[in-house]
Structure 1
Amino acid sequence: MARRRTFLSVTAAAAAAAPLVGSSPAAQAAGPRKHPPDADLRRILREIDADRIEAIVRKLASFGTRHTLSSQTDPARGIGAARDWIHQQLQEYASASAGRMTVELQSFVQPVSPRIPVPTTITNVIATLRGSTSPERIYVVTGHYDSRASDVLDAVSDAPGADDDASGVAVIMELARVLATRSPAATLVFAAVAGEEQGLYGSDHMAQRYKDANADIQAMFSNDIVGTGNPGDGTRPDPRTVRLFVEGVPTAETAAQANVRRSVGGENDGPSRQLGRFVEDVAENPQTGMNVRPIWRRDRYLRGSDHISFLLRGYPAARFTEPRENFAHEHQDVRVENGIQYGDLVEFCDFDYIARVARVNAATLWSLAQAPGTPRGVVIDTTQLTNETTLRWQAGTEADLAGYEVVWRETTAPDWEHVIPVGNVTSVTVDISKDNVFFGVRAVGRSGLRSPAAAPQPG
């Protein structure tokens, strides 16, 4: 039987919380398990309504085109009409929030650029649900409400943009409606951004505003093309899967920082990869009815969504999208050929599928907001030649923080395999060689909800 001993370096006040840590991997606790939704989250998931989502998608498609360069003053057609309708709806949702949710129009003038031939006003519509106990900790979810035809500069032709991306806007609007009546611990932001098809301009402006304010964005998710699990191209439908694109080494890192991260296995352990693991953990359950398929890439080839704007500022971010796109229908002018309709039409959307994607988002955002924040300043001591591993991190400030867990896995494993509860401490030494496995640290709340893990940096 493997020997067991306590070998810790902890703050004096927390010394009593020291764990027993075995010297053999076989002696460790069972690996992290998927977290089923609690009663509050189950009620949230039940309230997400596919009929309301359908109404949103149909209304957005009814504006004819939502091209960034289309009319901003026509009350019935163009991006201005869509902007005003989204703003009105979010204000209605906010009226049920007892003052916790505010709605703003975030406008700026985009100068001339390759897809912007004249200076153009671009407006994001943003609903912010302020956190009750940790309002400084922020989680953002977006969909883009602009659309396009085949010609990216064609602001006149019909471009209903049902799948790309009225579906994503419907997700964030339905989340705002359902969660407006709740009081999350951390702040949640629901944003319909514009200018995506012309170059991610709306999300770029939004992310920079947050960066300038030194905002603590702990996660951001883009919902872009989440309209159906049936591509309609003759391949087998997959209505129970959503892809989640998550990059490895953070985009904003310097080459030197990236090399340091790789030296401790960090190509699979950046903050966005930890988000991907977290989403699988909390959002794959019978209540969402979905499987999450993480794709370990920043985004698809030749494509990019609004999460990239946040990645470029160093924020953890990921992108939800349907399992297989039908490129024959996307970004095509509305037309009929040989009796077949083409274009990004409402008829190609599956509103029950969009509702399931919304439930995946809801489970993720609520679990993030109600759990403690991701541990900060996690380092692994690499100054000593030893077969043990010492980890240190900064103490969290949440009132409901119960303690921390060390997670670890074999270097060839994609997901965390083992977990060691270590109590409410800020330093721990475990009798497992740092040379052989990858480590992470995550916070645990009194409710049992856990944060995403943070991988250590050498220190």
Structure 2
Amino acid sequence: MLAAAAGTAGTAVASAAATGQAFAAGSDSDSGSRSRSGSGGESRGHGGRPATAQSPSRELRTLLKEIDPDRIEATVRKLASFGTRHTLSVQDDPVRGIGAARDWILAELKTYAEASGGRMTVELQSYIQEPASRIPVATRITNVVATLRGSVTPERIYVVSGHYDSRVTDVMDATSDSPGADDDASGVAVAMELARVMATRRPAATIVFAAVAGEEQGLYGAAHMAERFKAAGADVQGMFTNDIVGSPKADDGTVDPRSVRLFAEGVPSSETPEQAATRRSVGGENDSPARQLARFVRDTADNDATGMSVRVIYRRDRYLRGGDHIPFLERGYAAARFTEPAEDYAHQHQDVRVEDGKQYGDLPEFCDFGYIARVARVNGAALWTLAQAPGTPQGARIVTSTLTNATELVWERGTEPDLAGYEVVWRETTAPEWTHVIEAGDVTRHEVDLSKDNVFFGVRAVSRSGAKSPVAFPVPQR
């Protein structure tokens, strides 16, 4: 059966409009559908791209062209000008320290919000962190958050962040100059530039743009934001942090200007023992929500519109370190980290100094602002498509109540008004990307004439315009 289904390779991708028409003409959502191996499961990859890849719309291409390297450079240089942005640095000086940086970010985001017609709001999200690891005294930690409310499904939320605190070699040194251009004014510049560009637009879902503090001391600001979302029962369906995205140059001098790493956790850290036992019995170690989110980034942002290649790394983060996506992962949200292809440790976290005629320190001079703009385009392509597409299907199950060589999948129908239907995707268990796509129609049940023992399946939603959601990996239903 597998060979028969794979024999349909080469079928062209239908246009977005044709896809919407096909789903609109499909079955009623309460009914099911069936695909035989010889008539479904087209292999749709083009030029090495995944079968699930989505071509950027004209609207998205226009948006991405507005991302401005000069504005990004101005943001990075302004943040570096505050001397130090250490979390423990002064908070009431108008020109130096983390408080001055906080106030400037707030004012800048408010100017962007003025162009939104009231759809974007900006706030300071503060709390007092009591003494803890790397926090010797009670310290106010403040995130600066801009929220662009969705026009159709505002309860569905996507988050993009960078951290605006900085450090030198001694993580407790709150007074020495610590410009933090690459780590992480670059990531803050990505989030802020996306807020500027998207403020004038109307995403269907809500997008949150955040500059968080306390990262270098222990991910405190991001943990506070994630906990607030969790306590409110917020439907955060995706989160990206941009941390160290300022330069494509490695410490050995090699340059890789057209790629960015995306770190994505495998088995969720929030998984219960029962869920872990199920996963061990059926597989799916490579199909966590974070990795489906990473595949979605490849589907939507690894193309000519961004000028970048997205290198997905199947790890939570780099060795010995961690980023602001981790508190979101720990609370059960799909989250991933963007970072440059290879870090230059000669400048990262180094004290500002001149030695043997060479300048050291995390200075703007070592950033590549065109590269940061391309990373912003990768984020923008993924975020905008996420916000415009239907949400990730909920309640996806693979029916295992009877022994059969066919596979029956069920899921819950979404509530989006422009929802056209669903697609079933599949791949061999050893394949890293989805290789086949089956149009299921506007249904909540679909049977495929392939054995669930031999391949992995997924389900994704499709809008009338042809925008597709991330894939939901089904769990067994006995």
The TM-score, its normalising length taken from structure 1, stands at 0.95
> Aligned residue for 2:173?
154
Q: 1:18-417 residue pairs with structure 2 within 5 A? A: 18=33, 21-23=35-37, 28-31=41-44, 32-231=51-250, 233-417=251-435
CA distance in 2, matches of 1:297, 1:38: 31
Specify every segment of 5 or more residues in structure 1 that has no aligned partner in the other structure, as ranges. 4-10
Supply the AA of the counterpart residue of 1:264. V
Deviation at 1:27, TM superposition (A): 5.7
Greater CA deviation, 331-340 or 193-202?
A: 331-340
Aligned length: 449
Deviations 1:310-360 (A, max 9, x none): 000000000000000011211111011111111111110000000000000
CA distance in 1, matches of 2:164, 2:30: 52
1:18 counterpart SS class: strand
> Aligned residue for 2:16?
none
Deviations 1:225-257 (A, max 9, x none): 0001112x2342000000000001111112331
Deviations 1:375-403 (A, max 9, x none): 00101111111101111101100000000
Deviations 1:85-117 (A, max 9, x none): 000000000000000000000000001012000
Deviation at 1:362, TM superposition (A): 0.4
Deviation at 1:285, TM superposition (A): 1.2
Specify every segment of 5 or more residues in structure 2 that has no aligned partner in the other structure, as ranges. 6-25, 45-50
Q: Indicate if the aligned counterparts of 1:243 and 1:295 stay in contact, CA closer than 8 A.
A: yes
1:83 counterpart SS class: helix
> Aligned residue for 2:29?
14
> Aligned residue for 1:7?
none
- Identity among equivalent positions (%) equals 68
Greater CA deviation, 252-261 or 79-88?
A: 252-261
CA distance in 1, matches of 2:126, 2:29: 49
CA distance in 2, matches of 1:66, 1:12: 57
1:266 counterpart SS class: coil
CA distance in 2, matches of 1:89, 1:457: 45
The TM-score, its normalising length taken from structure 2, stands at 0.92
Deviation at 1:428, TM superposition (A): 1.2
1:202 counterpart SS class: helix
Deviation at 1:35, TM superposition (A): 1.6
> Aligned residue for 1:6?
none
> Aligned residue for 2:22?
none
Supply the AA of the counterpart residue of 1:273. R
Supply the AA of the counterpart residue of 2:90. S
**Alignment RMSD, CA only?**
1.6
Supply the AA of the counterpart residue of 1:23. S
1:219 counterpart SS class: strand
Supply the AA of the counterpart residue of 1:291. S
Supply the AA of the counterpart residue of 2:41. Q
Supply the AA of the counterpart residue of 2:109. L
